[in-house]
Every structure is written in structure tokens, then in C-alpha cells.
């Protein structure tokens, strides 16, 4: 990935997790479409335009309905009208809002997926998505309603925002407002017409899961490293050191494997159908690249290694801090660990047929990433407890554990602060220093 | 001497060694089939066999002995007495028979030694045939080696049963992955499926995970020359209302899902190869993580297969095949609904065994030590494999029925190069179901065909090695 000044050039092939996190947390990063990718996208798009004229083969989502209405044919004259309404029945989010950092990240990753040129969308669409991203705009999307076998629901909300459809809402400068109002404020065109195949290409992929997965693995890495650093600083008893070292090595290797899978997934054509050049023309291939099975499996594995690592933290706490005065913190740590252990189960082994049996197998990778986020959230609480106990412990070197204000609040000097507020403050401290986000707001 | 020192020789050969163990497991399946084929009534012999559920196949013990031999060669070469003992076992083709009972590592090792000592209720395999240890080992001179307490302790300490189990599960999973691709191809042809989903470009350019590329390639090779998976065949059969466009997920997402299972399988292979670089190895919890990931993935593989069989049952989702896969006197003849429900029930059992709650190391309140759960993870996978095998056997059984019913209508259309071998192999043992007949026996035979790798061998003999 080329990072010149604050520019991030995307071409669909080398977007790293670090690039994603950096761009998501810093509004001054400007993502642009790589010129060679733009040429390739324009070329494949011409084929879609040709199919709209005459003799088109049956192409899913180009001249057919979607899902189990795939056998219903659509005429070329209906496309603009169809693309202007088809996001609505797909935008099914319920519950709380997904964290705007994650939804904005999804825009960047989707633009990267489309820039590979196999989706057959206009470069203008990719520019539009990046324009919205670069303006610091986040689609407002509710958390529930996706299986992960393509995140149709959340990504339909993204399509609504990009197009400026009525009802689309965004988070912009910490305000929840309509997309059109936001675009006016930001100086962007208030509407963008989505043309043939473009709604499908916007929403037919597991990109919200992927955006969440990149943030989740980043947070998990940061928390596990933090635990190692805290325990390394401690002069207290760390039981069965040899076994702990072996386990830590295994966890690190497994975390690396999971991270690599997630990074690989940033740069695949998670979409269906796809176009491939064949001489001067393009063929269409309809398959199921809109799923992300490996990511779901690996996020399940992430929950297992978090469970193991949490057990080490709990043993350390129990061995060294089971004494009067610490009861509340021990109870909170124990409760957090219980949740982490409960989450060490596999979302991927579940499967419920959906859409009248057309999607007869679903692996729930979206559920897997939500579960992994839950583990990360509880892990943060566990680490907060660890930090608090170490900071309160006068046997430890205080200066290295937390900043002065935090130490003062945690320490006995400030008895006015209750347990809940202390936990909240320390958790916030971890969010800030480790760049941790929650799945919802 | 450093016990865990890495030898360059071992490093260079660990991948080759793993593949040789895979071949050993395959040979063991062959041998088991050889024994089976001597039965007078081949088709239902498997059903009549007495259950030996808790006893694991010979190849696990064989791999364990080989690993032990390797450890002695590498680190204890001067202990010629022990090496002679191991060599004698190998020369006599005697292999300890292990059990899947959930025991501790110490008890498992003890059981291994007891089976060589001729202890009552322990078993050994001799030339692949299971026999009571007592009747085989008592009287063998070389077992005097185990009379010596220090010899016995040394063998117990150095035997690596978990690694042997892992290698075995890796090998068997490989066969089951190929079997799943074969079953998919048969189902695909029976429903006259759409082949664009297996287009190499989707996988090699679009989403280039190694497992996905390999699965799609397998399917393309299996259905090569098929005239059933064409628009002409769909029109001629008359089950489609218009152009097919695309099939359901359990069919068209096979490269992505089976591919992800393959990627999990490949990671276990990498981890095992890493372990084989040491003899003896320095056990690491990463083996348990790799085994657990494969367990999750194999349950998903079972789920895909179960969904495909569900499609075959229903005329609407099978694009016009007879309801319940029964074309003669339907209603009186019931067909396959309960057979398919058996796959659902077995899948539910697999799901219950999914990893949950505990990973690979846990502080034990009773012993006051950290416990590894490598043994438990290996045993779980050993329990999952026969369940998956049964689900795939049901798909093989049903897809063969479906293919023949499809061919009844499309008599002039050729079947795929690979699938025709698979169908012929199944028909050697199980005939087309035309009336109500005892399902359990057919299902047991179908399982045997999968278990002994007959389906895979029949295909590979015709079209070469599958990925």
C-alpha cells in the first residue's frame, strides 16, 4: 500500500489491516482510487453497458431479480428505477447503532473490493464511496439483521447513504442526521444515481463483518500485548511459568494466523457475480464469493484463544490478590472471564436456511465477529481490573503502570470515586491508549 | 544430550514424513477393505460386523510405533535393547490397539504398554487383524523387555499418542474432504446444476484462497464431460421454469466452504509438520488450536452435505426429481425422507461436540497445575470423523439414487468422468431403491464405501489424484 503524505491509494490488492486502522482513526487520511485500477474498472463496466443494449446472457442482478426471485427477468429499461428502490427491502437493521468507525471502515473496504475491477461497477461509484469516506461520514446502521453470508442488510444501508436515498442517515461530526443534510453540510452532491448492478455490488459481500473483524483483531492483539506487558512489569508470582510461556507462544502464533486470514480477506472480490476479461469481451461468472467462511472460522478460534489467555490473567489475579479489600475487583474480573469463556463456542457450526431455502446454508460469520467483539469488550474489563489491582498494590512500581491522574484516582488518595466510575474511567483509558472500539454505540 | 534439539535431517523430511503417514493410513484402509472383501456376502457384511466402537484403527498404533522408533533413532540411538524391541514389534506386524475412551495422557500411555504386555482386555492388531493381546503377546520372547521397570517407564514417557492421533485425523480428513467433493459433484449432476460457480477465474482471480481453488478444480475434474450439467439437459429434463441462473448455497458455495475447511486442514498439516521437526517433539498448545479449528470446519462440512441431501428430497428444490427420490408407486414406497433426517440428526450430534468454553490450557483446581487439553481435542476429532463419514455416506447413497433417476429421463446424456466412477462403485454394493427396503443395511454399506476410501480410489483410478 502506498502512503504518500496522508494519501492512501487503493487498488484492491494490498490494503493492509494497518492501513485500514490508520485510515479509520485519522480523518486526515485521504483514500484515492489507483489510476490503473480505474482503467480496469472502466473497461469491465463497458461490458455491463453492452448487456443493457442487446443479447445479454442471464446475469444475476443485471437482468434478474435477487435471491429466490433470481428466475424473474428484469428489462434494461427498469434498471435505474430498480436500483433506486432495491436497497430498501434489504436494509433491515434492528437494534442499536453499529459503531460509526466500523461502518465508515466498511466504505473503505468495499471501495477496495470494487476497485479490483471484477465487479463491473463504474469508477464513478468508487470515487463516490471514497468521497463519502474521506469526508468523515459514517452510515448509521443498526446492529442486527445480517448472517454474514454477504452482509446484505448493513451494506444496503451503505448503498442508501452513498446514493443519498430518502431515509438514509449518517453520523457526521458526532451528530446523527440525514444523509442529504450531511452531504449539503460537507459540500458533496446530495444524490448519486446507482446504475445497473451497482446496488448489488455495493451490498453483496461480507464487508461489514470484514470491517468489524479488522477492528476486532486489532483490539485483541493490543489487549493480549498489554496483558503480557503488565505481567512482565509485575514482580509478583506468575504460576507455572514454563507452561505459561508455551501457551503464550501458541496463542501468538495462532493470533498471527488469524490476523493473516483477515488481512487476506481485505483484498478479495467478495461479491457475486463477477466479470472476467476474455479477449476483447468479458464473461460473467456467478458463484458465491460473497461469503467469508475462513474469517468466521478464525474469529471462532480467536474466542478460544482469548478464553485461554483470560484464564492466565485470572490465575495471576487469584494467586496474588485474593485478600480483603479486593473483593469487588476480583468479582468483576471473574465475571468478565466467565463471559469470555462462554463466548468460546463456534458461531460457524450453526446453520439456519434463509430466504425460502435459496440460502440453505449460512455460517453466521457476522455473529462470529459480534461474539468476538463481546469477548474483546469483556477482556478490556479484565485488563482494567488487572491494571487497577496492580496500581493499588504498593509492592509495584507505580509510575510504569498508569499515568499519574489515573493512579491517583485508582489509589487510596481519592476515595470519593466509586467502583463503577473507576472501571469506566480505566476502560476509557484502555480504549484510548490501545485504539479499541466497541461494536455498537 | 538435548532432548528437544532439532535435527536438520528431521526438518527437511517432516513434510515428506507426514505424507508417508497419510499413505500409511490409506494402506490401512485398503487392508481393512481387503479383509472385508473376503466375506461371502460382500454387500451386507459390514452391517453384520460386531461393533468395536471404542477401538481405534491399526494405523494410529502403527504411526505411534513409528514415531517412537524415530525418537529412539534420533535421541537414544545407543539404547539398542529398546530399539530391538520396537523393531521386533514392527517385524511381527504387531500394533497396539488404542481406544478412544476419554482418559488422561498417563492412562493412555499405560494402556499402550499394557496392550504389548499381554494384559487381559487389551488388544493388538496383527497384520491388521484385531486380536486379544493376551493370546498374541504371551510367549513372545521380546516382550521380556517390558519386565524391566525402567524400560517400561522409558517407553511410556516417550510414546506420543496424541501426535499419532493427530496425524491419523489429518489423513482421514483428507479422504473425507475428497469424498465431500465427489458427493457434491454427484448431487450437482443429479439436479443438473449450474457450473459457472466452479469457474476457475472466480477462485484463482476473485477469491484466491488455496482451499477454494483446489475444491473448484476437483469439482471441474469430477464433472468433466458431463452432459447433465448443461442448459440443454435442464431443458430436456423439464424441471426448470427458465434459465437456471444459479443454484442454492449448499451447491454453489462449495468452493468457498469446502475450501475453507481445506484451509483449516492445511493449517493442521503445517502445525503437525512443525511438530515432526522434533523427535521427540516439545508439545505445544498450538496443536490443540489447529485440531479445534479443523473440528469447527468439519462440522460445517457436514452441515453443507446435510443441506444438499435435503434438496434432493424435494421435487421443487431438486428441479423435478421424484419427491422423496422414489419414482415407482410413490406413497406406497416411502423413499428417502427418514434417511435424510438421519443425516440431520447426526449433524446435530456433531454440533454438540463443537469446541466450547475451554481451549488448550487451563489451571486445574484439583491438581494445582496447568492442564493441556490436546488429548481431549484429539479425541473429540476422532469422535467427529465417524459422524461426518456417516453424513457423507448418506449423501453418496442419495445422490447415487438421484443420478440414476435423472438418467432414467436423460438416457442419452453423458455423466462426468469422475462421477461415473463414483456411481459405478456405489452400484457395485448398493442397487437402486425401487421399493421399501431395509435402509439401515444400505446406509452401513454406504458408510463402508466412504470409510475404506473406495469412492475416492474409484474416482482417482479413473481421473488421477484429486487435490
Q: What is the pLDDT of residues A253-262, one digit of tens each?
A: 999 999 999 9
A239/B363 Cβ within 8 A: yes
ipTM (interface pTM): 0.91
The proportion of chain B whose per-residue pLDDT surpasses 70, expressed as a percent, equals: 92
Radius of gyration of chain B (CA): 24
Q: In b/e form, how buried is each residue of B15-32, taking b as 16+ CB within 10 angstroms?
A: eebbeebbebbbebbebb
- Better-scored residue on pLDDT, B178 or B373: B178
Judging by DSSP bridges, how do beta strands A7-10 and A30-33 pair with one another? parallel
> In whole angstroms, what is the distance from residue B460 CA to residue A418 CA?
70
Minimum-distance CB partner of A344 among B260, B356, B369: B356
pLDDT tens digits, B433-452 = 999 999 998 999 999 999 99
Distance of CA A361 to the CA centre of its chain: 23
Decide if B463 contacts B422 (C-beta within 8 A). Answer: no
- Peptide bond just before B280 cis, omega within 30 deg: yes
The proportion of chain A whose per-residue pLDDT surpasses 70, expressed as a percent, equals: 93
> In whole angstroms, what is the distance from residue A137 CA to residue A168 CA?
12
Helix axes A293-321, A365-392, angle to 10 degrees: 20
A345/B356 Cβ within 8 A: yes
Minimum-distance CB partner of B361 among A308, A348, A361: A308
Give the pLDDT band of residue B283 (cuts 50, 70, 90): confident
Minimum-distance CB partner of B285 among A64, A247, A358: A247
> In whole angstroms, what is the distance from residue B237 CA to residue B192 CA?
9
Beta bridge partners of A144: A94
Q: What is residue B51's DSSP assignment?
A: P
What pLDDT is attached to residue A23? Answer: 96
- Better-scored residue on pLDDT, A274 or A415: A274
pLDDT tens digits, A283-317 = 999 999 998 999 999 999 999 999 999 998 998 89
CA angle (B20, B268, A109) in 5-degree steps: 135
Residue A69 grid coordinates: 426471485
> In whole angstroms, what is the distance from residue A150 CA to residue A365 CA?
9
pLDDT tens digits, A21-63 = 999 998 789 999 999 999 999 999 999 998 888 777 777 877 7
Chain A residues inside the 8 Å CB shell of B288: 250
Query: In this model, does residue B99 exceed pLDDT 80?
Result: yes
Minimum-distance CB partner of A288 among B208, B253, B310: B253
Chain A residues inside the 8 Å CB shell of B284: 246, 249-250
Indicate the helix (H) or strand (E) that contains B335: none
Decide if A38 contacts A231 (C-beta within 8 A). Answer: no
A349/B351 Cβ within 8 A: yes
Least confident of A141-145, A243-247, B151-155: A243-247
> In whole angstroms, what is the distance from residue B415 CA to residue B334 CA?
27
Give the pLDDT band of residue B3 (cuts 50, 70, 90): very low
> In whole angstroms, what is the distance from residue B36 CA to residue B128 CA?
12
Pick the closest to residue B308 from B369, B394, B382 (CA basis): B394
CA angle (B134, B140, B144) in 5-degree steps: 100
B362/A360 Cβ within 8 A: no
Q: In b/e form, how buried is each residue of B148-170, taking b as 16+ CB within 10 angstroms?
A: eeebbeebeebbbbbbbbbbbbb
Minimum-distance CB partner of B196 among A244, A286, A349: A286
Question: How buried is B416 (Cβ within 10 angstroms: 0-12 exposed, 13-18 middle, 19+ buried)?
Answer: buried
Chain B residues inside the 8 Å CB shell of A58: 243, 245
CB contact set of A335 (below 8 Å; sequence gap of 6+): none
Decide if A245 contacts A12 (C-beta within 8 A). Answer: no
Cβ count near A20 (within 10 Å): 24
Q: What is residue A8's DSSP assignment?
A: E
Give the pLDDT band of residue A225 (cuts 50, 70, 90): very high
Indicate the helix (H) or strand (E) that contains A363: none
pLDDT tens digits, B258-280 = 999 999 999 999 999 999 988 88
Q: Is the pTM of this model over 0.90?
A: yes
Decide if A220 contacts A379 (C-beta within 8 A). Answer: yes
Pick the closest to residue B433 from B320, B354, B353, B337 (CA basis): B337
CA angle (B327, B332, B333) in 5-degree steps: 50
B197/A287 Cβ within 8 A: yes
Minimum-distance CB partner of B354 among A287, A305, A349: A349
A269/B292 Cβ within 8 A: no
Indicate the helix (H) or strand (E) that contains B363: strand B361-363
Phi, psi of B244, deg, nearest 5: -65, -35
Query: In this model, does residue B169 exceed pLDDT 90?
Result: yes
Beta bridge partners of A432: none
Q: Residue A185 in 3-state DSSP?
A: helix
Pick the closest to residue A132 from A154, A166, A103, A99 (CA basis): A103
Give the pLDDT band of residue A356 (cuts 50, 70, 90): confident
Mean pLDDT of all residues belonging to chain B: 90
What pLDDT is attached to residue A239? Answer: 59
Query: In this model, does residue A191 exceed pLDDT 80?
Result: yes
Q: Measure the CA dihedral B314/B320/B322/B325, to 10°.
A: -60
- Better-scored residue on pLDDT, A382 or A67: A382
Q: Which of B180, B266, B285 to mutate to test the interface with A (most CBs of A within 10 A)?
A: B285
% helix, strand, coil for chain B, step of 5 = 65, 5, 30
> In whole angstroms, what is the distance from residue A281 CA to residue A48 CA?
11
Pick the closest to residue A131 from A207, A191, A174 (CA basis): A191
CB contact set of B54 (below 8 Å; sequence gap of 6+): B99, B100, B101
> In whole angstroms, what is the distance from residue A84 CA to residue B349 CA?
46
Q: Which of B193, B200, B256, B351 to mutate to test the interface with A (most CBs of A within 10 A)?
A: B256
How far A226 CA lies from chain B's nearest CA (Å)?
A: 20
Phi, psi of B371, deg, nearest 5: -105, 140
The proportion of chain B whose per-residue pLDDT surpasses 90, expressed as a percent, equals: 75
A293/B260 Cβ within 8 A: yes
Residue written as cell 520396537? B86
Decide if B407 contacts B395 (C-beta within 8 A). Answer: no
> In whole angstroms, what is the distance from residue A197 CA to residue A194 CA?
8
Residue B242 grid coordinates: 427458465
> In whole angstroms, what is the distance from residue B325 CA to residue B433 CA?
9
Nearest CA in chain A to B284: A246
pLDDT tens digits, B108-160 = 999 999 999 999 989 999 998 889 999 999 888 888 888 899 999 999 999 99
How far B312 CA lies from chain A's nearest CA (Å)?
A: 13
Distance of CA B456 to the CA centre of its chain: 11
CA angle (B190, B193, B196) in 5-degree steps: 150
Residue A203 grid coordinates: 451490498
Q: In b/e form, how buried is each residue of A75-108, taking b as 16+ CB within 10 angstroms?
A: eeeebeebbbebbeebbebeeebbbbbbbbbbbb
> In whole angstroms, what is the distance from residue B215 CA to residue B252 CA?
12
DSSP annotation string for A199-212: HHHHHSS-HHHHHH
Question: How buried is B421 (Cβ within 10 angstroms: 0-12 exposed, 13-18 middle, 19+ buried)?
Answer: buried
B292/A361 Cβ within 8 A: no
Residue A144 grid coordinates: 442486527
Chain B residues inside the 8 Å CB shell of A258: none
- Peptide bond just before A273 cis, omega within 30 deg: yes
Decide if B146 contacts B49 (C-beta within 8 A). Answer: no
A163: left (phi over 0), alpha (psi -120 to 50) or beta: alpha
User: What spatial distance separates the first Cα and last Cα of chain A, rounded to whole Å?
Assistant: 31
What pLDDT is attached to residue B52? Answer: 54
Q: In b/e form, how buried is each residue of A114-127, taking b as 16+ CB within 10 angstroms?
A: bbbbbbbbbbbbbe
Amino acid at each position: 500500500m502506498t502512503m504518500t503524505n496522508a494519501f492512501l491509494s487503493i487498488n484492491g490488492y494490498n490494503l493492509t489491516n494497518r492501513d485500514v486502522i490508520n485510515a479509520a482513526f485519522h480523518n486526515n487520511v485521504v483514500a484515492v482510487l489507483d489510476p490503473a485500477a480505474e482503467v480496469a474498472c472502466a473497461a469491465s463496466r463497458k461490458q455491463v453497458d453492452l448487456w443493457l443494449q442487446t443479447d445479454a446472457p442471464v446475469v444475476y442482478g443485471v437482468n434478474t431479480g435477487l435471491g429466490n426471485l433470481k428466475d424473474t427477468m428484469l428489462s434494461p429499461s427498469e434498471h435505474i428505477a430498480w436500483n433506486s428502490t432495491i436497497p430498501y427491502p434489504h436494509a433491515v437493521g434492528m437494534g442499536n447503532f453499529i459503531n460509526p468507525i466500523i461502518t465508515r471502515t466498511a466504505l473503505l473496504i468495499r471501495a477496495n473490493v470494487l476497485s479490483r475491477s471484477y465487479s463491473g461497477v463504474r469508477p464513478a461509484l468508487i470515487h463516490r464511496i471514497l468521497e463519502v469516506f474521506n469526508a468523515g461520514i459514517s452510515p448509521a446502521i443498526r446492529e442486527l439483521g445480517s448472517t454474514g453470508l454477504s452482509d446484505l442488510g448493513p451494506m444496503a444501508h451503505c448503498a442508501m447513504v452513498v446514493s443519498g436515498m430518502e431515509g438514509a442517515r449518517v453520523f457526521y461530526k458526532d451528530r446523527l442526521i440525514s444523509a442529504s443534510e450531511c452531504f449539503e453540510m460537507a459540500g458533496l452532491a446530495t444524490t448519486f444515481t446507482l446504475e445497473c448492478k451497482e446496488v448489488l455490488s455495493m451490498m453483496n459481500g461480507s464487508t461489514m463483518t470484514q470491517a468489524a473483524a479488522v477492528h476486532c483483531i486489532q483490539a485483541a492483539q493490543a489487549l493480549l500485548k498489554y496483558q503480557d506487558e503488565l505481567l512482565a512489569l509485575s514482580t509478583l508470582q506468575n504460576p507455572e511459568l514454563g507452561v505459561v510461556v508455551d501457551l503464550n507462544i501458541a496463542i501468538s502464533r495462532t493470533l498471527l494466523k488469524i490476523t493473516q486470514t483477515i488481512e487476506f480477506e481485505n483484498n478479495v472480490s467478495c461479491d457475486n457475480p463477477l466479470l472476467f476479461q476474455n479477449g476483447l469481451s468479458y464473461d460473467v461468472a456467478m458463484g458465491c464469493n460473497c461469503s467469508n467462511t475462513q474469517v468466521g472460522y478464525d474469529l471462532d478460534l480467536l474466542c478460544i484463544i482469548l478464553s485461554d489467555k483470560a484464564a492466565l490473567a485470572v490465575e495471576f489475579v487469584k494467586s496474588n490478590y485474593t485478600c480483603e479489600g479486593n473483593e469487588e475487583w476480583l468479582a468483576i474480573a471473574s465475571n468478565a472471564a466467565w463471559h469470555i469463556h462462554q463466548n468460546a463456542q463456534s458461531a460457524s457450526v450453526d446453520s439456519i436456511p434463509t430466504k425460502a431455502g435459496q440460502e440453505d446454508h449460512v455460517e453466521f460469520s457476522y455473529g462470529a465477529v459480534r461474539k468476538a467483539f463481546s469477548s474483546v469488550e469483556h477482556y478490556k474489563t479484565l485488563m482494567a481490573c488487572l491494571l487497577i489491582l496492580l496500581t493499588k498494590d504498593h509492592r509495584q512500581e507505580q509510575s510504569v503502570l498508569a499515568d499519574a491522574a489515573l493512579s491517583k484516582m485508582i489509589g487510596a488518595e481519592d476515595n470519593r470515586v466509586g467502583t463503577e466510575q473507576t472501571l469506566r474511567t480505566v476502560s476509557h483509558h484502555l480504549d484510548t491508549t490501545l485504539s479499541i472500539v466497541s461494536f455498537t454505540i | 544430550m538435548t532432548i528437544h534439539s532439532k535435527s536438520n535431517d528431521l526438518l527437511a523430511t517432516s513434510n515428506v514424513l507426514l505424507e508417508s503417514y497419510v499413505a500409511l493410513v490409506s494402506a490401512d484402509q485398503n487392508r481393512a477393505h481387503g479383509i472385508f472383501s473376503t466375506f461371502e456376502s460382500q454387500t451386507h457384511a459390514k452391517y453384520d460386523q460386531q461393533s468395536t466402537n471404542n477401538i481405534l484403527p491399526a494405523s494410529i498404533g502403527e504411526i505411534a510405533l513409528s514415531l517412537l522408533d524415530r525418537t529412539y533413532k534420533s535421541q537414544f540411538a545407543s539404547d539398542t535393547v529398546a530399539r530391538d524391541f520396537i523393531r521386533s514389534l514392527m517385524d511381527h506386524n504387531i500394533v497396539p490397539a488404542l481406544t478412544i475412551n476419554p482418559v488422561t495422557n498417563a492412562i493412555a500411555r499405560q494402556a499402550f504398554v499394557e496392550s504389548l504386555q499381554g494384559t487381559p482386555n487389551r488388544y493388538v492388531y496383527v497384520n491388521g487383524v484385531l486380536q486379544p493381546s493376551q493370546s498374541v503377546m504371551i510367549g513372545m520372547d521380546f516382550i521380556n523387555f517390558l519386565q524391566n521397570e525402567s524400560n517400561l517407564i522409558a517407553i511410556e514417557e516417550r510414546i506420543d499418542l496424541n501426535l499419532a492421533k493427530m496425524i491419523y485425523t489429518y489423513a482421514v480428513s483428507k479422504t473425507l474432504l475428497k469424498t465431500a467433493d465427489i458427493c457434491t459433484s454427484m448431487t450437482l449432476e443429479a439436479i443438473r446444476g449450474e457450473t459457472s460457480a466452479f469457474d476457475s477465474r472466480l477462485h484463482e482471480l476473485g477469491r484466491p484462497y488455496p482451499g477454494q481453488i483446489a475444491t473448484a478444480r476437483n469439482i471441474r475434474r469430477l464433472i468433466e464431460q458431463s452432459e447433465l450439467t448443461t442448459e440443454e439437459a435442464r431443458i430436456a429434463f423439464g424441471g426448470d421454469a427458465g434459465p437456471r441462473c444459479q443454484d442454492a448455497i449448499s451447491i454453489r458455495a462449495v468452493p468457498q466452504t469446502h475450501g475453507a475447511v481445506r484451509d483449516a486442514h492445511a493449517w493442521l498439516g503445517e502445525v503437525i509438520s512443525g511438530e515432526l521437526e522434533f523427535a521427540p517433539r516439545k508439545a505445544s498448545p498450538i496443536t490443540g488450536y489447529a485440531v479445534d479449528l479443523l473440528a469447527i470446519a468439519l462440522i460445517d462440512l457436514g452441515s453443507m452435505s446435510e443441506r444438499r441431501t435435503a434438496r434432493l428430497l424435494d421435487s421443487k428444490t431438486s428441479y423435478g426429481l421424484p419427491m422423496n427420490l422414489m419414482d415407482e408407486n410413490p406413497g406406497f414406497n416411502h423413499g428417502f425422507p427418514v434417511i435424510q433426517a438421519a443425516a440431520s440428526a447426526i449433524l446435530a450430534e456433531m454440533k454438540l461436540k463443537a469446541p466450547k468454553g475451554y481451549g488448550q490450557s487451563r489451571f486445574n483446581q484439583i491438581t494445582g497445575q496447568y492442564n493441556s487439553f490436546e488429548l481431549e481435542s484429539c479425541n473429540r476429532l476422532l469422535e467427529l470423523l465417524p459422524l461426518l463419514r456417516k453424513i457423507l455416506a448418506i449423501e453418496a447413497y442419495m445422490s447415487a439414487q438421484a443420478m440414476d433417476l435423472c438418467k432414467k429421463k436423460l438416457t442419452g446424456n453423458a455423466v462426468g468422468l469422475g462421477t461415473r466412477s463414483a456411481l459405478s462403485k456405489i452400484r457395485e454394493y448398493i442397487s437402486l431403491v425401487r421399493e421399501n427396503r431395509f435402509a439401515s443395511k444400505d446406509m452401513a454399506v454406504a458408510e463402508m464405501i466412504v470409510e475404506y476410501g473406495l469412492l475416492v480410489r474409484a474416482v482417482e483410478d479413473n481421473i488421477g489424484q484429486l487435490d
